[in-house]
Structure 1
Amino acid sequence: MRHAETVTFGGSGLDRAAALRGDAAAQARLLAEGRVLPVWRGKPLLAGDAGLGWLPAAHPALAHAVAAPVFLGLDGTTPRFAQDISDWSPEAGAEAVEQGFLDSSQQTHPALPGDWVFAELRACMTLLSPREAELAATARAILHWHRSHGFCATCGARSEVAQAGWQRTCPACGAQHFPRTDPVVIMLVTRGNRVLLGRSPGWPEGMYSCLAGFIEPGETIEAAVRREVMEEAGIRLGAVRYLASQPWPFPASLMLGCAAEALDDTITLDPAELEDALWLSREEVLAAMAGEHPRVKPARKGAIAHFLLANWLADRLD
């Protein structure tokens, strides 16, 4: 495994056992033997300090589910599933609300131990093992897709879950629909000993990150990198190379990390895209990572931006 694959949510070698998805008898057996991860409004269940909270399929907390579990794969010999219980309502006053950039609230279920909580995945992603991080990211992304794609995009009829959760079919017109992933480029743009960072409007004070943007239809990765940096910061780029990727299930992106060399350093902001952008030296990035920079806060650990910057500092990008 390349060092680049050690990014959070990177591949952990999970056996997704796709050949078993269409076998109803096998799925029934696997569900009886396996464990289910409840997900509430995008938040996976955490078992205190022990990682993800896995439950048997007959557990009372799963009674709130309105759809069958999705088969995630085989974790060694243990079948793993995920199930959406977003229709459950916590006790009065405990419901989550959107809290800007990151929802820090946690919810407890009366049928579970008191230290088992539903928590925002971005807040706990670095606490999970590589295998659990991959399972949690997969669960969050696939369940969000089901909640947001309940109707056929061809004829508008309600679609039905198939292939153990990895497909939706339309009983009216026969169309088949598959989980969506949106490719996003994220760029480590350098010029000599400096790196280009920016911040979007509404981000927490002091937060800066690598520039990023969605790939458009008919566009290569390299073309998207050059276009996004030019649009957002007015910087022309030379050589572009791929470094690493990260599934980012918020809600369904695949971050494609690239290194790019800037041909100039004059920043011209697009205020609709960026609130600010600046060049930082290695020494300044190191200070930001240590929380000692007077203006720039460190990138969130676990995000590919942090991964790219940390490895740039260590001179081990591969």
Structure 2
Amino acid sequence: MVTAPGFTGGTFDRADALRSDLDRLAAATADPRARLLRLHALDPELTPEGHLSWGSLAEAGEEDDLIFLGFLDGVPHFASADPHATPVTGRSPAIFRALDILPAAEAANYAAARSVVDWHMRHRFCAVCGTASTAFRAGWGRKCPVCNAEHFPRTDPVVIMIAEHEGRALLGRQSPWPRGRYSALAGFLEPGESIEEAVARETLEETGVRVRGIRYVASQPWPFPSSLMIACIGTAENDTIEIDRNELEDARWFTRDEVLASLAGDPEASFVAPPPYAIAHTLLTAWAES
């Protein structure tokens, strides 16, 4: 049985109605039990037991934008965004160490918080007139005080896919990845495309392989900074590879046995699989066990 993709299974009651109810929101922020997620440059602070660390709202900066994440066991939980902080670029080694030990539900809760905080740090000005905007809807939007334009956290759709041909899976690698790692191909959807069209286009552009019979497998929120990964499998019409070197360092066909060995962590495996919290791991498992 394929496990759920990483960053799914969050446990917040997001209580959307509270976001527009100023009285209820004020009561939530005044609740002495209210908790604030401890983040350092978007990385989570962990307890000695490997859980997310939460403090009181008093730890938020005076000018911070408070983001209502939701209720856990009736207790309001928040994150905060410093309007003067420099936006974070890239991912630190610390975040991957944290993801290796965080329980799945807490990783999902963290992913939601990270994406929204990161969005506030990157979208401080109105996209219509350029005026500095202010947070509203309990941190789930920003509003321009001049033109009244409203802006909301965005999620960018990304297709991630395996092309299969006669019992083999097409995987690729990029040069910055750890030595030996191969993974599913991926790319952003473009305007005016369906998921299936994006899968076919990206596979053809990156490897020269045409696919058909594309089928959906699963999806995953990916908080770096905020994407929705849409996992699919398609049938390749041929197995001739023409690599786009601007996108990939290499691409190869791997047999089902090779994929299963890699997923099992076999030190003699022909490649290194993506980590369990990545949906590419879920996708490879779904393909190998089908």
Separation (CA, whole Å) in 2 of partners of 1:293 and 1:225: 31
Contact in 1 for aligned 2:183/2:274 (Cα 8 Å): yes
Matching residue of 1:70:
67
Change (3 A) 1:130 1:297: closer
Separation (CA, whole Å) in 1 of partners of 2:287 and 2:206: 22
Contact in 1 for aligned 2:4/2:282 (Cα 8 Å): no
* 1:204-236 Cα deviation digits (max 9, x unpaired): 221111000000001000000000000000001
Q: How many residues align?
A: 286
1:261-272 equivalences in 2 (<5 Å): 261-272=235-246
Matching residue of 2:288:
313
Contact in 2 for aligned 1:137/1:249 (Cα 8 Å): yes
Alignment-mate amino acid for residue 25 of structure 2:
Q
Kindly report structure 1 stretches of 4+ aligned residues shifted beyond 4 Å.
85-89
Matching residue of 1:81:
78
Alignment-mate amino acid for residue 44 of structure 1:
P
Task: Select the residue among 179, 186, 189 that pairs with 2:153.
Answer: 179
Contact in 2 for aligned 1:138/1:249 (Cα 8 Å): yes
Separation (CA, whole Å) in 1 of partners of 2:174 and 2:85: 34
Matched, 1:51 2:40: no
Separation (CA, whole Å) in 2 of partners of 1:273 and 1:284: 24
Matching residue of 1:160:
134
Q: Secondary structure at the match of 2:119?
A: helix
Separation (CA, whole Å) in 1 of partners of 2:288 and 2:3: 18
Separation (CA, whole Å) in 2 of partners of 1:293 and 1:306: 18
Change (3 A) 1:15 1:133: same
1:139-154 equivalences in 2 (<5 Å): 139-154=113-128
Matching residue of 1:297:
272
Q: Secondary structure at the match of 2:267?
A: coil
Alignment-mate amino acid for residue 277 of structure 2:
G
Q: Which runs of 5+ in 1 are unaligned?
A: 90-96, 105-118
Contact in 2 for aligned 1:34/1:80 (Cα 8 Å): yes
TM-score (norm 2): 0.91
Alignment-mate amino acid for residue 57 of structure 2:
A
Separation (CA, whole Å) in 1 of partners of 2:27 and 2:135: 19
Matching residue of 1:205:
179
Contact in 2 for aligned 1:243/1:259 (Cα 8 Å): yes
Matching residue of 1:103:
92
Q: Calculate percent identity across the aligned residue pairs.
A: 43
Separation (CA, whole Å) in 1 of partners of 2:44 and 2:187: 27
Alignment-mate amino acid for residue 11 of structure 1:
G
Alignment-mate amino acid for residue 69 of structure 2:
L
Matching residue of 2:26:
28
* 1:31-75 Cα deviation digits (max 9, x unpaired): 22321102222212211224100111124xx34x64132001112
Matching residue of 1:11:
9
Matching residue of 2:216:
242
Matching residue of 2:192:
218
How far apart are residue 298 of structure 1 and its match?
A: 1.9
Matching residue of 1:134:
108
* 1:108-167 Cα deviation digits (max 9, x unpaired): xxxxxxxxxxx41x4322433333122100111001100000000000010010001001
Contact in 2 for aligned 1:233/1:270 (Cα 8 Å): yes
Separation (CA, whole Å) in 1 of partners of 2:45 and 2:23: 28
Separation (CA, whole Å) in 1 of partners of 2:97 and 2:257: 27
Change (3 A) 1:9 1:231: same
Contact in 2 for aligned 1:8/1:130 (Cα 8 Å): yes
Separation (CA, whole Å) in 2 of partners of 1:211 and 1:50: 32
Q: Which runs of 5+ in 2 are unaligned?
A: none
How far apart are residue 303 of structure 1 and its match?
A: 0.2
Contact in 1 for aligned 2:141/2:150 (Cα 8 Å): yes
Contact in 1 for aligned 2:44/2:98 (Cα 8 Å): no
Change (3 A) 1:293 1:66: farther
Matching residue of 2:38:
38
